Amino acid sequence: MTPTHGDDWTLGMSTPDEPVIVRDKRRIDPESGQVRGDAIRVEAKAPGDGDDAAAAAASSASVGAATDDGELLEPLRQQVVERTADLQRLKAEFDNYRRRVERDRLVMAEQATAKLLAVLLPTLDDIGRARDHGDLEGPFKAVAESLESALETAGLERFGSQGDEFDPLIHDALMHTYSSQVTRSTCVDVFRAGYRHAGRVLRPAQVSVAEPAPDAGVDAGVDAGAEADINQSVRDATAGSTPNAGGGAPEAVE
């Protein structure tokens, strides 16, 4: 039978040049009547089981990798903590060293200034005696005032005047008397002024000290007139002179 052009059964057939491949997908073997093993394996594999297994394997791999990374990073973290502690300790030591050096530098500067001022104290005493005798005149007066002003700017402080309360830390008592006109130990005369710098006493003031009489109603051994005469004689004897430890200081009168 020769097919006509209107028949459709020839459509889709392969040409003689193309090989024909037949795949038998029957679950039952036509010869033995048994279920084929490939079908059993296909049925045993449920949809999605492969994806879950792959996900579980990937999760296990990631957990293992994270565990390995944690074990590797732990020593590094410990080293970072130790190095940070070392740096903090070194910084604290450096800060303490810097403060100590700055404090020592200030102390050395103050000591050097104090030594220079101590050398100039006798010159200031000479200027003071010249002023008391009226000899501080003319250009010498301007120079003296300029020197005193410069030393005050450098921190030199003068202390010691009549009426000050006696302080054994800054006053050197050369005379001691009793007086009914004072209620506490008082500096009644100043033989030589004292000086200090930056809170440190460079030289104590040499003074005469008067204390209250032991009994206001009983003569303490020196009446008011005699006491005034003694004080006046001391002022006359020490006027224009500077007592010193080696001699020249008036003897104490009690």
Residue 231 CA to residue 82 CA, distance in Å, equals 77
pLDDT 10s per residue in the chain (254 long)?
Answer: 444 444 444 444 555 566 667 676 777 777 777 776 655 554 444 444 455 555 555 565 565 555 666 778 888 889 999 999 999 999 999 999 999 999 999 999 999 999 999 999 999 999 999 998 988 888 999 999 999 999 999 999 999 999 999 999 999 999 999 998 899 999 999 999 999 998 899 999 999 999 998 864 444 444 445 555 555 554 554 444 443 433 344 444 43
Helix 138-153 / helix 49-132 crossing angle, nearest 10 deg: 160
β strands within 64-122, DSSP E: none
CB neighbours of residue 93 within 10 Å = 10
Asked whether the beta carbons of 229 and 222 are under 8 A apart, the reply is no
Report DSSP letters for 8-69, one per residue: -TTTTPPPTTSPP------SB-TTT-PBPHHHHHHHHS-TTHHHHHHHHHHHHHHHHHHHHH
Residue type, 33: G
Neighbours of 231 (CB within 10 A): 18
d(CA 173, CA 191): 10
CA distance 190 to 179: 17
